[in-house]
């Protein structure tokens, strides 16, 4: 099923997105109020694999942003850890590769060493990032290894602006051509 908006809604979506300054408002416009996504809204992360990448990036980044604001990156790792691969792809797509690397490194360092870790394959795929921790900024002092500090020091102050720019630039990914 195609979850994008019909082409006739392009002007309305452009106008609505021009008015928002929050990625959460953009997600409300593009996903939560989209009648084509009704059945996916109940699936949670299960919907990510069924959506076009732009939708997935938007949802993963809003989830990451909300959780980090509410409780820090360690809270994200406790409650939404399985979304990490989607979020890092979204961060890269939105022009934040350093923050994606910081999230990967912080998550790996905070992960339990377990043969049943469901992110083992993801970390294996990210071996180049993990082999080069110097690519990110590291906090100093007592909290140098704290995942919250690692994430925070690498998060750009214009996080939401970058995500909104990504959405506006890739609007065609949200709208059917005909």
How far is CA 6 from each of CA 16, 45, 127, 174, rounded to the nearest angstrom? 15, 24, 40, 9
Query: Is the per-residue pLDDT at 43 higher than 70?
Result: no
pLDDT of residue 67: 95
Its pTM stands at 0.90
The residue with greater pLDDT, 109 or 151, is 151
Average pLDDT over residues 103-118: 84
pLDDT of residue 57: 92
Query: Is the per-residue pLDDT at 28 higher than 70?
Result: yes
Query: Is the per-residue pLDDT at 84 higher than 70?
Result: yes
Q: pLDDT (tens digit, 9 = 90+) per residue, 51-63?
A: 778 888 998 999 9
User: Distance between CA 172 and CA 55 in Å, rounded?
Assistant: 11
pLDDT of residue 2: 72
Pair 171, 1: CB distance under 8 Å: no
Query: Is the per-residue pLDDT at 159 higher than 90?
Result: yes
The residue with greater pLDDT, 120 or 98, is 98
pLDDT of residue 39: 65
Domain boundaries, the chain: 48-173
Q: Which residues pair with 5 in a beta bridge?
A: 175
């Amino acid at each position: 099923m195609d979850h994008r908006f019909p082409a006739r809604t392009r002007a309305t979506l452009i106008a609505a997105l021009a008015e928002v300054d929050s990625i959460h408002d953009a997600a409300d416009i593009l996903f939560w109020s989209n009648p084509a996504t009704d059945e996916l809204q109940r699936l949670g992360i299960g919907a990510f694999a069924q959506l076009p990448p732009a939708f997935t990036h938007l949802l993963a980044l809003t989830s990451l942003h909300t959780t980090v604001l509410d409780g820090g990156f360690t809270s994200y790792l406790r409650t939404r850890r399985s979304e990490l691969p989607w979020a890092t792809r979204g961060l890269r797509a939105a022009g934040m590769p350093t923050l994606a690397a910081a999230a990967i490194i912080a998550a790996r360092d905070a992960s339990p060493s377990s043969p049943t870790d469901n992110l083992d394959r993801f970390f294996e795929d990210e071996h180049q990032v993990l082999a080069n921790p110097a690519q990110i900024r590291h906090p100093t002092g007592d909290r140098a290894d704290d995942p919250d500090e690692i994430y925070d020091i690498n998060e750009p102050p214009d996080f939401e602006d970058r995500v909104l720019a990504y959405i506006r630039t890739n609007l065609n990914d949200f709208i059917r051509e005909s």
